[in-house]
A and B are shown apart, each in its own frame.
Chain A
Amino acid sequence: MNLNVENTKAQMRKGVLEYCILSLLSAEEMYPSDVIAKLKDAKLIVVEGTLYPLLTRLKDAGYLTYRWEESRSGPPRKYYQLTPVGRKFLKELDDTWDELAQAVKKTTRNNPAR
């Protein structure tokens, strides 16, 4: 039972993860560790590994682009930023999220049975 709850929570977080990543990157150029730190703060993700496939996927879809930058400590880093297509996509997601949040709120909070 407990496992199911955890799973459901994880699925919920995952659903919005892409949106959050795009949103974070729209504000400023970041490299994965920055993104992870922000997401961890917000308790959206627990482990870092999940982010890499997502970033690659978004990049392959044309929403993100990156550039290499030398690092003083360790290997060179990929700094990600949104492409114009990504910005358009994010705008759509913004609208969708607003609608969805409203709908969810309306459905769950106004449920007389609760």
Chain B
Amino acid sequence: MKKTVTANIAGTVFHIEEDAYEQLQRYLAGIRANFSGSAGADEIMADIESRIAELFTERLTGRNVVNIADVQNVEGVMGRPEDFAGEGDGDRTTAGAGTTAQATSGPRRFMRDPDDKWMGGVLGGLASYIGMDPLWLRIGFIVLIYFSIGSLIPIYVLLWILVPKAETAAEKLQMRGEPVTVENIKRVVEEGGEHLKQGAQRAANEAKEFGRDFGPKATAWGHEAGRNAGAVGRNAAHILRKLVGVGFIVLAFTLLLGLITGLIGGSISLWHFTWSSADMGLLDLGGLIFNSQSHALWFGIGVLVLVTVPLIGLFLAGFRLLLDTRTPKWLGWTLSILWFAALVPTVIAGAELASDFHRENSVRTEETLKQPQGDILYLDALNPADETEGWSVRFDNGAVDVDMDGLHVENGNIFGAWAQLDVERSADSLFHLQVVREAHGGTAKAALARAEEIQFRVEQNGDVLLVSPVLSYAMTDKFRLQNVQFTLEVPLGKSVFFRPASRYVIYDIDNVTNEIDRDMIGRTWTMTPRGLEDLTVPHRMKQEEEEVAPKDSTRKGPVAAVVWQGPSKRRPAQEHRPPARAEGTTNMMPNLLQLLRPRI
């Protein structure tokens, strides 16, 4: 019994035995290779196919199926591909379309190689093009993918789409840079047939292997797939496997590298996290957070293993997909056990730590302030360098910027620039400074005890109030989100001036014009019924408004005057100041319109 293939040759349908079909296909490919690229190629092929159909029809009297003898007969009648090739040599100049113009060695072409590929055959083709071993090209490419953080992958896909696949024998020869001669074509075609057989065999084997790995159910599928391994399914699965494999390896490698460098750098010094002159490592930091350094150590080791083991697994999986290597069973078991073992200390230490953060408590005190001589209190920040020796950078009137985040350890104390200051309206006619210290702990009592331990510094020098952004507490208290919140209460009609260094303490101060903290520096802010207001700005604004829209200020002015008597006698002009916020922008419009009017 023989399988037959149905083929349409020049409009006639033939049933051809499989082996005969293969031979016919090779024969036609051989002929086509001679004409590929020449103008009349398609027409010549059509003529030849037409003649072949005729010959088959003549021979198929009383039979239905074309066999290999028929194909051999056709080859005998039509001649071998070589005979076709020789024909054009005689007189190529007579006709414009030389039929065998391709018979000589042309320039090498960059084409994808379907016979030597992992994914799209781009690198295989490139290897042929530049005459290199494709393996090195692939290794180099994978390394480059890593260093380019994957940006080469779209380029590969683009090449896959753009670069044509070397499909015919002639194209394959062009790709390799071999002369397109009849002998070479025959060789390539025969090689192609071998490749096809080997490829199907390999696919079947791979599918079986794949199936073995994934249990009996998959095995059945593997056998099935192996039997039916068509070119399409085989390639798609193959490509996907390699692609996923490369992705796994790159991802695992990147993360592992980051983890290792982070760990090495971190255990030596956390230079960015602290601004301490004495280097502090991860373990020191852990000691500040955990109740003991051994807790920190166990937690660190646990987390490390929990993260690293899956990454190693990812790495191995990537290699398995890409290179078909097998992971030894003991390694898988070891990794799994290690991971679960690491879960124990991590969870215990983590839970203990979490319980110590469980409750929050705060203590509220008031600092007694000497009231300023005038109406203005000048706010400044204390230089942290006065408190600790380790500050490498000092700030002076805000001229030098320091990284104020992080923490600093000295003499058994933890220092951190976490204190913040807000400004609110005072209930009476005096300046007040409220201080709220808060901390976390396992119980409300412990949290309160910690809060009371927090040290902060406030000084007063005449009309200047100096507040330190730095708070400190004993190392033995541990890091439990200790925080200090200052609230400066400014009485109605009095002002506060933010000196440059105060930008290290003030945080999110509400004001009428909704300006950010940075813009509030270096200005006098007066407490009005609406909140903090810079009264010098509306004063400037008012003069502009009088030119543009004088009505506006007269309408709004008295309203403010009724409510309160103005900030001070020193600035009587401001009694008729307009509300500052919206007018600044809205009154710009008529101004602009007026400017435009003469031109319209």
Complex CA–CA separation, A46 to B86 (angstroms): 13
Q: Is the CB of B58 within 8 A of A73?
A: yes
Q: Interface stretch among A53-61, A97-105, A106-114?
A: A53-61
Q: Which residues of A have CB within 8 Å of B367? A: none
Among B12, B44, B80, B94, point to the contact of A53 (Cβ < 8 A): B44
Interface residue range, chain A: 20 to 34
Q: By CB atoms of chain B within 10 A, which of A15, A18, A48 has the most?
A: A48
Complex CA–CA separation, A58 to B11 (angstroms): 25
Q: Which residues of A have CB within 8 Å of B12? A: 74-75
**A17, chain B: closest CB distance, angstroms:** 8
Q: Is the CB of B51 within 8 A of A53?
A: no
Among A11, A55, A60, A76, point to the contact of B90 (Cβ < 8 A): A11
Number of interface residues of B (CB under 8 A): 36
Q: Is the CB of A15 within 8 A of B90?
A: yes
Q: Is the CB of A57 within 8 A of B94?
A: yes
Q: Which residues of B have CB within 8 Å of A47? A: 76-80, 83
Interface residues of A in 62-90 (CB under 8 A from B): 71, 73-78
Interface of B (DSSP majority class) = helix
**A84, chain B: closest CB distance, angstroms:** 18
Complex CA–CA separation, A56 to B43 (angstroms): 7
B54 within 8 Å of A (CB atoms):
yes
Q: Is the CB of B97 within 8 A of A33?
A: no
Complex CA–CA separation, A61 to B97 (angstroms): 8
Q: By CB atoms of chain A within 10 A, which of B12, B31, B84 has the most?
A: B84
Q: Which residues of B have CB within 8 Å of A50? A: 79, 83-84, 86-87
Complex CA–CA separation, A24 to B43 (angstroms): 22
Q: Which residues of B have CB within 8 Å of A53? A: 35, 40, 44, 84, 87-88, 99-100
Chain A contacts to B: CB under 8 angstroms: 10-11, 14-15, 17-18, 32-33, 46-50, 52-58, 60-61, 71, 73-78
- What are 19 inter-chain pairs, A to B, with CB distance below 8 A? A14-B86, A14-B89, A14-B90, A15-B90, A32-B51, A46-B83, A47-B80, A52-B48, A55-B47, A56-B43, A56-B97, A60-B40, A60-B97, A73-B58, A74-B10, A74-B50, A74-B53, A74-B57, A75-B50
Ranked nearest first, the 8 interchain pairs of A and B with the lowest CB-CB distance are: A47-B79, A49-B79, A49-B78, A57-B95, A74-B54, A56-B40, A53-B99, A14-B90
